Amino acid sequence: MTKLQTAENSRSPSHQDATSPVVKTVHLTSLGCPKNLVDSENMLGQLVEEGLRPVAEPGEADVLLVNTCGFIQSAVEEGIDTILGLIEQKKNPGVRVVVCGCLVQRYGADLVRELPEVDLFLGTEEVATIGSRLRALDRATAEEPEDGGEHPGPAGSSSIVRYRPSDGTERFLANAKLPRRLATAPHRAYLKITEGCGNRCSYCMIPAIRGPLRSRQPDDILDEARALAAAGGPGADPDRPGPHRLRPGSWPRRAPPGLAAQDPAPGG
């Protein structure tokens, strides 16, 4: 397994004058397989649209985000080590540590209990909600101080919801309209066409973590495929100002310079 750390193009409009609003920053580490990498790109795309600016160094970030793998024991250990490392970077109360992905889906309640320093846990079904969940966390934190982080807590306790257990009724499925911030090498990108699995082999955790098999509609897959193909063609300027809204018809040619990515492990 490998880590992906993202950084905004240094030539993007990141310099704020005295009258400009403060722009929050985000540092992302993505662990595991290509499916996880696509989820990470979708989450980063949403956060960019929320106005957050990606940075390369954890110490520069207001939001420390890690998308975890929980498929095998070594992946679990890597995820825990990464989380603990990010917690060490939490220099002040305003910094958020957000843990997402398969590890949360598999061990969410245990993680909440054992890692009170983490501000927010999101499972694999919550990829499309990261922006709204962070906003809700900010509002709740502004209204009352944290109390150690029950989830979500009995009536009358803190309104901060660090973790929402999945009840299996809401299943995430990628789609071409979901914002996406490409972080692969310029000549490649992943296209996810299914989620989950229906085989339930005795040796495999995918159905338990990712849920039953569900597939995207062919037209939606083709829309994203065309957008990915166009993103590698001429005519788009990766250095143009403003956040790159990775949507069909408007995706940039490639991820901005400064995005360093390694190919994820095929079995992560």
Position 234 scores a pLDDT of 42
User: What six digits make up the tokens of 209?
Assistant: 């973590």
Distance CA 259, CA 252 (A): 13
Position 245 scores a pLDDT of 35
Position 143 scores a pLDDT of 74
Q: Does pTM top 0.85 for this prediction?
A: no
Position 159 scores a pLDDT of 61
Position 242 scores a pLDDT of 32
Per-residue pLDDT of the chain (268 residues; tens, 9 = 90+): 444 544 443 223 233 444 445 679 999 999 999 999 999 999 999 999 999 999 999 999 999 999 999 999 999 999 999 999 999 988 777 899 999 999 999 999 999 999 999 999 999 999 999 999 999 988 888 776 544 444 443 333 356 788 888 777 789 999 999 999 988 888 889 999 999 999 999 999 999 999 999 999 999 999 999 988 887 744 333 443 333 333 333 444 344 434 334 445 444 4
Distance CA 41, CA 190 (A): 10
Which residue is it, tokens 């995918």? 206
Provide the β-strand partners of residue 148: none
Closest CA to 103 of 87, 74, 79: 79
Structural fold of domain 4-10+23-231: Rossmann fold (3.40.50)
Non-local CB neighbours of 198 within 8 Å, separated by 6+ positions: 207, 212, 213
**Beta strands 194-195 and 120-122, pairing class:** unpaired
Distance CA 50, CA 135 (A): 9
CB 52 within 8 Å of CB 25: yes
So where are the chain's domains?
Answer: 4-10+23-231
Position 255 scores a pLDDT of 41
Position 145 scores a pLDDT of 53
